[in-house]
Each structure stands twice: as C-alpha cells, then as structure tokens.
Amino acid sequence: MKYGSGNFFSLPNEIFLLGLNAGELAVYSFLRRCENRKTHQCWPSVKTIGQAVRMSENTVRKYIHQLEERGLIVSEPTTVTTKSSGRRNGNLLFTLSPIGEVIDEYYGQQMAVLEQTSARQRAQRKAEKSGVEFVPSVRDQGA
C-alpha cells in the first residue's frame, strides 16, 4: 500500500492523561482523523465509525455518549433534504473540543474531589481532638 504525503493525523499527548478506555480512545481517534482542522468538525456516520474501529453501531453510540460526558466532543443531529424535497435525518455533526479546555475541566474536577477529601479529613481530626465521634454525611460517603 502506498501512502502519500499528508496521510496522517495528530493526536494530542494530553489525551492519555484522561484515563480513556480503549473504545473511547478508538472512537475519539477516528473522529480526530476525520475532523476539519479549521472548524474542528466532522460528520461520519455511526456505521462508518463502527466499520473503521471494528465495533457495532450500538457500541459506537455508547462511546460517543461517554466522550460527550467527558466534554471531548459535542454531537448535533443534522437533516438532509432529498431530491423530492423530503427531509431525512442526516449524520451527526461532531465538534471536537479543544484539548486544553478538556484538560482544565478534568483537573478542576480532580481538585474539587481533593479539596472535599481534605476538608473531610480536617473535620475528622478536629472531631477526634474534641472527643466527638466523626460521622461523615451521606453525601461524603459516596466520594
């Protein structure tokens, strides 16, 4: 197979800091491959993504949803006008978020968890010094 110049895409190193699973990474990588570098948008079909990364359409949809929850992508439905002036659903339009913003949000969430843990530990130490039993709130027990 012969490859021409420009037959590559870049993947930001920071993507590996986010703890993506293999499926999320595969779908995100394919979207990066397809994206317009100026608009950061692409519109491959779920079927095309699935064929490229060897996953079922339902599995691709699951990973798209997870990438949206992580803030890496935004998807919007599109419509297509047929020759007979009918309207049909088109492919999803994917917009890939700037990785710097995603990393900042990720670290912000990590800091919030750390601050909550630190506050809980301070409260526990203060309660122990006062001879009071420390009982974490129901909200704190899930963290």
Whether residues 88 and 49 share a domain: the answer is yes
Is the pLDDT score of 55 beyond 70? yes
- Mean pLDDT computed over 48-75: 97
In a domain, 3, yes or no: no
Query: What does the DSSP 8-state code read for residue 15?
Result: G
In whole angstroms, what is the distance from residue 118 CA to residue 112 CA? 10
- Mean pLDDT computed over 20-25: 97
Instruction: Quote the domain boundaries for residue 48.
Output: 8-97
Whether residues 28 and 64 share a domain: the answer is yes
Read off the pLDDT of residues 26-40 as tens digits, 9 standing for 90 and up. 999 999 999 998 999
Q: How far is CA 118 from CA 104, 115, 122, 129, 140, in A?
A: 21, 5, 6, 17, 12
Q: Average per-residue pLDDT in the chain? A: 88
Where does the chain have alpha helices with state H? 22-34, 46-53, 57-69, 99-130, 138-141
In whole angstroms, what is the distance from residue 44 CA to residue 126 CA? 56
Residue 93 three-state SS: strand
Whether residues 117 and 68 share a domain: the answer is no
Whether residues 74 and 103 share a domain: the answer is no
Read off the pLDDT of residues 102-143 as tens digits, 9 standing for 90 and up. 888 888 888 999 999 998 888 888 888 888 887 777 665 554
Whether residues 69 and 112 share a domain: the answer is no
Whether residues 67 and 111 share a domain: the answer is no
- Mean pLDDT computed over 7-20: 88
pLDDT at 139: 62
Cβ neighbours for 62, distance < 8 A, ≥ 6 positions apart: 23
In whole angstroms, what is the distance from residue 124 CA to residue 101 CA? 35
Number of domains in the chain: 2
Whether residues 85 and 109 share a domain: the answer is no
